[in-house]
Structure 1
Amino acid sequence: MAWPMYEYRGLLLPPVGHTAESLEFAQNFSVEDSDVFIVTYPKSGTTWMQEILPLVLNGGDLTPVHTVVNWDRVPWLEETRLAKIVDKLTSPRALVTHFPYSFMPPSFYTSKAKVINVIRNPKDVLVSSYYFHQMANFLEDPGSFDEFMDKFLEGRGQRLL
């Protein structure tokens, strides 16, 4: 059974990891010039980038990858976890988000933070999203692939995951 989604500025988010407090924290987040953001549409390679970026930032050193879980190594801007660990992050901080550009905190626009924007073929995003919706018990049943594709093409299938 799907959980009721949390609506934030027109986007639907799963209530797991997203609260009014975490979204307010994201909007008030102080972006530093040395920050590096991974920005992706859902199901577009986010986790891969959460594994790759720390290696790049640490000169290929595997220690952080082997000793720190990825949601603490590269925390989500919009999720509750960031407020708990932000003080432990060292510069350059690696962060990840599914937020569109217009949802970024005001300090982002005046910073020199770097952005890695990952784009995936929409056909692959559709298929990956469909199977993810079948597996994730906190999301609504996707129905048939054709039904899901219609929602996806109409823009009714976007979730920040």
Structure 2
Amino acid sequence: MSLNLEKMDLPPRPELFDFHGVSMIPCFTDNWENYQNFQARPDDILIATYPKAGTTWVSYILDLLYFRESLEDRQTTIPIYERVPFLEICVPGLFSGKDQVDNLTTSPRLIKTHLPVQFVPKSFWEQNCRIIYVARNAKDNMVSFFHFDRMNKVEPDPGEWSSFFQRFLDGKMVFGSWYDHVNNWWKKKESYSNLHYMFFEDLVENTGKEIEKLCSFLGLSPSAEEVETLSSSVQFDNMKKDKMANFSTTPFMDFKISPFMRKGLLNNRLIQEKT
């Protein structure tokens, strides 16, 4: 289902408000009851992260793992945000992520969310769906989130770095506190065995090894050559140039301010490269 984003009439930047103890904005809460009643299927795969923690990267990897051979045109003609819909997003009169998921014809359905664990629709747990959570260290996550908010017109205005920095520390961010988010998802894996918790840093350091771990969790058995090929194709520079992966087709993101995908490196690696 096409989003027709070219015709989107954007409202002013939203303000944060408290929603059941978590800072949110209307486009993630206006459709609350609808997506809370979402009916998951046993083979659905949910990709959960705090914003700017590697969601698109892991979504891209999973899409290639499952559909690269059977749906060859998929990766070159359909943007990643349609291949892996954002469950809780809703722009009234234009589209909702929940409707996009309902209209998916692929199996498994790949679904993205930034929801704190306590907000995830109960049907995912009831159906024992496989869930992949990606965590990123707070320092890199914060910097990436700041630049994302600068260029994304549907996010709150980030303001100056100093005030944004303090808001991040205070947890006054869309989807709430970074610490609460990553910590509560970590605790969930202790009681929910179908949750694979991975780290952005590990994916950067050894993409192939992390893909192998993902495949083991998902019950997939690619050859060593297939893993190597996949690892090469999902490297950051390749994705950054791919219009179907880099969100350059969305008009509410101002790439003159910052690209959606900036550097994709760890802070310590950036330091080493500059010295």
Q: Common fold, TM-score beyond 0.5? A: yes
Give the secondary-structure state (helix, strand or coil) at the position aligned to 2:132.
strand
1:63-74 matched pairs, under 5 angstroms: 63-74=73-84
Q: Which residue of 1 aligns with 2:86?
A: 76
Task: Pick from 9, 34, 37 the counterpart of residue 20 of structure 2.
Answer: 9
For residue 139 of structure 1, the aligned residue among 133, 152, 155 is 155
Q: 1:44 to 1:151 in 2, by over 3 A?
A: same
Contact 2:115 2:175 in 1 (8 A): no
Q: What's the C-alpha RMSD, in Å, of the aligned pairs?
A: 2.3
**Structure 1 contact 54–64 (Cα < 8 Å) conserved:** no
Q: Is the 8 A contact 1:55 1:62 kept in 2?
A: no
SS of the aligned residue for 1:88 comes to coil
**Deviation, structure 1 residue 7:** 5.4
Residues 152 and 158, structure 1, Cα contact 8 Å, conserved in 2: no
State which of 62, 66, 69 in structure 2 corresponds to 1:57: 66
Segment of structure 1 superposing worse, 73-82 or 131-140? 131-140
1:124 to 1:86, Cα distance in 2 relative to 1, 3 A: same
Specify the alignment match of 2:55 in structure 1: 46
Query: TM-score, normalising length from structure 1?
Result: 0.83
SS in structure 2 at match of 1:153 = helix
CA distance in 2, matches of 1:120, 1:62: 31
Q: Distance in 2 between matches of 1:95 and 1:30?
A: 12
Within the alignment, does 1:95 sit opposite 2:111 as a pair? Answer: yes
Moved more, 78-87 or 110-119: 78-87
Distance of 1:148 and 1:111 partners within structure 2: 38
Letter in 2 for 1:11: V
- The count of aligned residue pairs is 158
- Contact kept? 1:3, 1:139, Cα under 8 Å: yes
1:30 aligns with 39
Give distance in 1, aligned partners of 2:168 and 2:127: 33
Could you say if the C-alpha distance between residues 35 and 85 of structure 1 is closer, same or farther in structure 2, counting changes exceeding 3 Å?
A: closer
Q: Is residue 131 of structure 2 the alignment partner of residue 115 of structure 1? A: yes
Higher relative contact order (CA 8 A, sep 6+): 1
Equivalent residue for 1:150? 166
Cα gap change, 1:75/1:111 in structure 2, threshold over 3 Å: closer, same or farther? Answer: same
SS in 2 for 1:131: helix
Q: Deviations over 1:123-159 (max 9, x none)?
A: 0011011112222233333233222111111111234
Q: Distance in 2 between matches of 1:62 and 1:5?
A: 41
> 1:2 and 1:59, CA in 2 relative to 1: closer, same or farther beyond 3 A?
closer
Q: Structure 2: any 5+ residue segments left out of the alignment?
A: 1-11, 90-95, 177-275
TM-score (norm 2): 0.51
Q: Name structure 1 gaps, 5 residues minimum.
A: none
Q: 1:137 to 1:84 in 2, by over 3 A?
A: closer
1:39 touches 1:116 (CA, 8 Å); kept in 2? Answer: yes
Q: Distance in 2 between matches of 1:131 and 1:69?
A: 22
Q: Distance in 2 between matches of 1:84 and 1:44?
A: 23
The runs of at least 4 aligned residues of structure 1 exceeding 4 Å deviation read: 59-62
